[in-house]
Amino acid sequence: MKKQVLLFAFLLSFRIVPGATIEIPDSLLAVDHVYEYTFSDPEKAHRIVESMRKQKTEPAFLLDLMEGDLYFNNKKYTDALVFYTRALNSDSIRNNAIEYMEQLHRMISCYDGLHDAANKTRYVKLLLDKAEQTGNKEMKSIALFNMGKMVYDEEDKPRAYQLIKEAIGLMEQSDYRKKYDNLRYNYNTLLRMQQRDNYFEDALETLDAFESIVTEAALEEYYIEGLYEKEIKTMYAWRANLLAFLDRMEEADGAYRQWQAIGKDYKQDDYLIATYLLQRKLFDEVVEIYLPQERFYIEQNDTINYHMKTIKRLMGKAYEGKKDYPEATRCYKELAVLTDSLKAREQRSAALELATVYETHEKEIKLQEQTVHIKVRNILLLSAGIAIFFLLIILWRNVKHARTIRDKNKAMAATIEDLLVRKEELFEAKEELNALKAVADNENDLSGDRLLFETLDNIVVREKLYLNPDLSREDLMKLIHVNKNRFAQILQQAAGSNTTTYINNKRLEYAAKLVKIHPEYTIAAIADLCGITNVPTFNRLFKAKFGMTPTEFRDSL
């Protein structure tokens, strides 16, 4: 045991002492070099930023922007938000209208990548208001484009295409310094929508416009190593997919050969060619593209994301095409579990997660700043580490079971409170999104099961109809004028539940609020006020939803 403790302390001391790193020459400590290596060598770009932080060659907010951009360009959106949020809160950004709108754009892009509709809506509104206030067409283009994406997700596709094309037109006419960055992203997004909606001929026209932008950008834009080749490879992947959909296989094969000729560099977007490969029954190539990506996310312990969802779906199709049914079944089962996990995560607030990551990064940065001034680690540090280790063991052994239960209940109570806050934020976000759509188009399309459910849900929440213990399915059906079969379908698709569960969930959330606001109320009184007159039933439903009884919840507050 003694030897193990000494070995642990020895390893701990090595963890504290910075390891040998490859020195970055002073000639590379410049903003341009950071972006130059963004795609071709992101690790080198990060080392440049770290060296610039140590030597304080640039203001802190600018270094935060660069590091956020590095994470964003490598699809690590949560990490990017840490640095973007810190930059947004700096005086240098807040006091400059242009920089402030640029930073709002970065925040929108991150929340878009995280599929966090509530936060994205909030920042789109801020950007649109500021762009209108200052008369900035470029930023209005960005706000309109993101509004179009949100409208598309709400299934109002004609209006979505109109907004996106209007946004592209504004950007093409501008002299914005990041004009081509935005146009590349705009055209790629438009291509995805058109391919998804089977507008293949329209997509080919979009692709021609995209190609002209890539070529023009290569002549006029600041140099980023590998960016032109990366976009050309992306363009060939799109062309191969679209031509294959149109059954123009000879041309599609030619585009695929051009895609292959670029080689194995710039593999980040290789997944785009998967649609062509599946149509050509090149199942092994699909697996070859996605298997390393699957392993990467597993190694990074980041398996709950939309990229992994795409990986599982397409690998399942590929294995099915290869007649490797056990692997196909595995992929489809994992896809189902992943889909449920993503839905659950979307219903929770990302605020706590972001705050935790932010604090972690803050501690890491402070540690890096401290280690710059530390030259020697002596025996006192090792002794302190051993003492802390033994102290933690002693404390851990003396923690009582009752304390553990109490802490657990406190954590669960905090989770319930956070859930209730999140519910209110989501409800407000829906109303904000509807307001944005109303600004964009005074005549909203009110058709569709999703909008019927939102109409029903808004009425139920706003008027607190769930407090009526006699509220029935027929009462709810009358609110949106549908028959019982369609009503059941709407509720199942939108809320994932039946009528009883839907109403009870509203009652239980209201009950949790009453427990917090009125600790003097009895549990029976709260049950009656929220519309569940039977106390044992109320206790059972409350524990099933929140993991603890109403009494335990009240005691933990």
Tokens 């060296």 sit on residue: 51
Res. 495 pLDDT band, cuts 50 70 90: confident
CA gap 430, 185 in Å, rounded: 26
Q: Report pLDDT for 418.
A: 60
**Which of these, 492, 431, 450, 454, lies nearest to 154 by C-alpha position?**
450
Reported as a pLDDT band with limits 50, 70 and 90, residue 22 is low
Q: Which residue has the higher pLDDT, 447 or 114?
A: 114
Over 80: is that where the pLDDT of 16 sits? no
Report residue 69 CA to chain centroid gap. 15
**Considering only 63-77, 137-151, 353-367, which range has the smallest mean pLDDT?**
353-367
How sure is the predictor about 10, in pLDDT bands with cuts at 50, 70 and 90?
very low
pLDDT at res. 123: 92
- Percent of the chain predicted with pLDDT > 90: 21
Say what the pLDDT of residue 408 is: 60
For residue 524, pLDDT beyond 90: yes
pLDDT of 494 > 80? The answer is yes
Over the stretch 477-488, which tens digit does the pLDDT of each residue have? 988 899 989 999
Task: Return the pLDDT at 531.
Answer: 92
Half-sphere exposure of 510 (CA within 13 A, CB side): 24
Per mean pLDDT, which of 46-50, 201-205, 381-385, 430-434 is the most reliable?
A: 201-205
What predicted TM-score, i.e. pTM, was given to this entire model?
A: 0.50
| Count of CA atoms in the C-beta half-sphere (13 A) of 134 | 16
pLDDT of 536:
94
Specify the range with the lowest mean pLDDT, choosing from 121-130, 366-375, 413-422: 366-375
Write down the pLDDT at residue 8: 41
Distances (CA, A) of 29 to 19, 57, 120, 157: 21, 8, 34, 46
pLDDT confidence band for 195 (50 / 70 / 90): confident
Per-residue pLDDT at 401 exceeds 70: no
Q: What's the mean pLDDT when you consider all of the chain?
A: 79
Q: Each residue of 333-373: pLDDT tens digit?
A: 888 887 777 666 554 434 334 333 444 444 555 555 566 45
Amino acid letter, 257: R
E strand or H helix at 424, and its extent? helix 401-440
Reply yes or no on whether the pLDDT at 473 is more than 60.
Answer: yes
CB 511 within 8 A of CB 537: no
What would the mean pLDDT of 256-264 be, rounded to a whole number? 82
Tokens (6 digits) for 63: 């270094």
**Residue 33 banded pLDDT, cuts 50, 70, 90:** confident
What pLDDT sits at residue 6? 42
* DSSP assignment letter at 222: P
Closest CA to 176 of 221, 115, 120: 221
Distance of CA 9 to the CA centre of its chain: 38
Which of 319, 317, 368, 313 has its CA nearest to residue 337?
Answer: 313
What was the pLDDT predicted at 512?
92
Element (H, E) at 130: helix 117-134
Tell me if 310 sits within 8 A of 342, measured CB to CB. Answer: no
- 33-42, 353-362, 386-395, 472-481: least confident range: 353-362
Rg (C-alpha) for the chain, rounded Å, is 27
Q: How far apart are CA 370 and CA 376, in angstroms?
A: 12
Among the residue ranges 281-295, 381-395, 427-441, 464-478, the one predicted with the least confidence is 427-441
Q: What is the pLDDT of residue 420?
A: 63
User: What is the pLDDT averaged over residues 129-153?
Assistant: 90
Tens of pLDDT, residues 74-112? 888 888 898 899 999 988 888 899 889 988 999 999 998
- Residue 391: the pLDDT is 78
Considering only residues 233 and 376, tell me which one the structure prediction assigns the higher pLDDT.
233
Q: Is the separation of the CB atoms in 342 and 304 below 8 Å?
A: yes
Query: What dihedral do alpha carbons 489, 494, 500, 504 form, nearest 10°?
Result: -170
* 179: pLDDT strictly greater than 90: no
| pLDDT tens-place string over residues 298-326 | 887 777 776 787 888 888 888 888 888 89
Distance CA 388, CA 394 (A): 10
Alpha-carbon distance 40 to 45, whole Å? Answer: 9
pLDDT grade for 421, boundaries at 50, 70 and 90: low
Rounded to an integer, what distance in angstroms lies between the CA atom of residue 370 and that of residue 377?
Answer: 13
Long-range contacts, 64-72 (Cβ 8 Å, 24+): 64/90, 65/103, 65/106, 66/31, 66/34, 66/35, 68/106, 69/35, 69/38, 69/106, 70/34, 70/38, 70/42, 70/45, 70/46, 72/106, 72/109, 72/110, 72/113
Q: How confident is the model at residue 255 (pLDDT cuts 50, 70, 90)?
A: confident
pLDDT at 400: 67
Residue 266 gets which letter from DSSP? S
Are 328 and 320 contacting, i.e. CB atoms less than 8 angstroms apart? yes
Percent of the chain with pLDDT over 70: 77
Burial of 153 (0-12, 13-18, 19+ CB in 10 A): middle
Sign of the alpha-carbon dihedral angle for 339, 340, 343, 344: negative
Give the distance between the most distant pair of CA atoms in the chain: 78
Cβ distance 433 to 117 under 8 Å? yes
Residue 2: pLDDT over 50: no
Cα atoms in the Cβ-side hemisphere of radius 13 Å centred on 6: 4
| CA atoms of 373 and 313, how far apart (whole Å) | 50
Contact between 322 and 284 (Cβ < 8 Å): yes
